[in-house]
Amino acid sequence: MQGDVAGTSDWPEGGFPGIRINPESLLPEIVNEDACREALAASTDPSDQIFVLIVEGHAAEAAELLAEARFKDPESFRLRTFEAEVLRVSHRTDRALDLFRQLLAEFHGTDREALVLQHLGKTQYAAGHTSAAVEAFARALDLRVAQSADAAQIYSSTVALQRARDVLDLAC
């Protein structure tokens, strides 16, 4: 994407214009501020603003908007995952992991299971639970391949799995 921060073109897509997944931290980062702001200005979906606030690390602001959005759409899968992401950004990792595990139990066997596993793995990785993250990323990748998911999703799972395995190997 033109205008991206140098060296980020091979980073996995982050799910919103101007955002990519850092292959070291496995967390989303804004790599093209202009593209992100333009897409945000054009968006009418409040979850887009929430996502960008989460990426920027503004947990309190994201939580406020999330509460309003969840009131209007309490069953939204995306908003429910953002609730756990806000917990992660707020350094309440144990609660975030619990919520992702709840979502995993609820969406087991559905087309959303791989996405929940990817989020769970990312949160486990950020919390230093690398072995558990490897398992979650491997399951997410297997499901995405089996479901013939979008190539960007398969790539994201592949990068995350390889990074977690590399870190685990270094620890041994």
**Which token pair is 23?**
């292959």
- Cα 43 to chain centroid, rounded: 19
pLDDT tens digit sequence for 74-94: 999 999 999 999 999 999 999
What percentage of the chain exceeds 90 in pLDDT?
94
DSSP 75-124: T-HHHHHHHHHHHHHTT-HHHHHHHHHHHHHHHTTSTTHHHHHHHHHHHH
Provide mean pLDDT across the span 106-120: 97
In this prediction, residue 107 has a pLDDT band, given cuts at 50, 70 and 90, of very high
